[in-house]
Amino acid sequence: MSSPVAPSLSSETRPSKGEGLSLWEYVSFTIVHTLVAGLLSVLSLGGLYRLGRLFGTLEWLVNYRRRRRFGAALRNVLGHKPMAAQRRRATREFFMRHRCDRLFYLIFDCLPRDKALALFSIENKDLLDSALARGRGVYLAMSHHGPYHVAGMFLAMHGYKVAAVRDRREGGIRRYIQGRFDRLYPEFQRMRVIFEDSFPREIYRCFHEGFVLGSAMDVRRVRRAGQKAEEVTIFGEKRQFLTGPLHIALRCRTPVVQAFILPERGFHYRLQIVGMLADPEDVKDEAAAVGEAVRTYAANVERFVRASPSLLSRL
């Protein structure tokens, strides 16, 4: 794939100066980043990964409240009370995975490009590339389960034009690292950020320009009146999933593909392309296609989380 060229950003998507961080946030994140980068230089990537799992284990031992919340979420996901050994194994892995993902995100900008690229693989990549070859972009339906924010940065490094729909109130650490990434690696594709309360025209523009636009559909609740949503049953509960980008994708004749990001040992990550949720070439009724796509999406999320319960999020 040819070297990416950074796109221009409109006022709707361009981050503010300093990525919107306060002075205290910027200083504290810089201190933490410097410390973790120092550990990386001493321990190497493998040593830092083992240290992350150690810290995660210690947190698992002392943070009984979060252990209890995870146990309740695990029962809800499985639909029954898990065996004690299964619960302990999944809970400990949850803490270790969460700690390692944070460490990796902090040192992502410290890795040489070739090293970073070697840590990422795409399963079923041909489906993604063939969908993009149609020239109308791709809507990548992600999930909050797993470090989905890592997927966008890896895809950008691989030369894909990437856009992400995000909550305007997302954590400061992500904005801080994204800012460092932009400044240190200007030759890489700048991931375009679209806030979920922005005007839909930015999403239309991304599809027309051939972007891979990703968002997590499995929100907890619809926050604003007028947002398009579809009710679906997942883990035995009725929930509303946002469908605005999905509607726009079908109107733009953009293929809709579902994917999950799986962390693996040693800070390796695998983007699993599950399959096509909606092929616009086959859609005759938009409302029916959206309903079917959301039901398929929810069923795939259920299977994914039950197979890898340590990736549970939103406890």
Nearest to residue 110, comparing CAs of 56, 166, 48?
Answer: 48
| Inter-residue contact 110 to 186 (CB < 8 Å) | no
Give CA–CA dist 174/188, Å, rounded: 17
The two structure tokens encoding residue 190: 């700048």
The tens digit of pLDDT for each residue in 162-177 reads 988 876 666 677 778 7
User: Is there a contact between 252 and 136 (Cβ–Cβ < 8 Å)?
Assistant: yes
Which residue ranges in the chain fall short of pLDDT 70?
1-20, 167-171, 184-190, 196-197, 220-226, 314-315
Instruction: Give the pLDDT of residue 260.
Output: 95
Q: How far apart are CA 155 and CA 126, in angstroms?
A: 14
209 touches 137 (CB < 8 A): yes
CA atoms within 13 A on the CB side of 50: 4
**How does pLDDT run across 50-106, given as a tens digit for each residue?**
999 999 999 999 999 999 999 999 999 998 899 999 999 999 999 999 999 989 988
Beta bridge partners of 121: 270
**Of 194, 310, 292, whose CA–CA distance to 245 is shortest?**
194
Please check whether residue 163 is in contact with residue 211, taking contact to mean a CB–CB distance below 8 angstroms.
Answer: yes
Distance CA 24, CA 43 (A): 29
Question: At a CB cut-off of 8 Å and minimum separation 6, what does 243 contact?
Answer: 217, 228, 229, 230, 290, 294
187 backbone dihedrals φ, ψ, rounded to 5° = -80, -15
**Closest residue by Cα to residue 50 from 16, 99, 83, 121:** 99
Closest CA to 71 of 58, 84, 54: 84
Distance of CA 134 to the CA centre of its chain: 24
Q: Of 266, 267, 108, 117, nearest to 176 (Cα)?
A: 108
Whole-prediction pTM value? 0.86
Which residues contact residue 309 at a Cβ distance below 8 angstroms, ignoring those fewer than 6 apart?
74, 77, 78, 90, 94
Got the DSSP string for 188-215?
A: SPPPEEEETTS-THHHHHHHHTT-EEEE
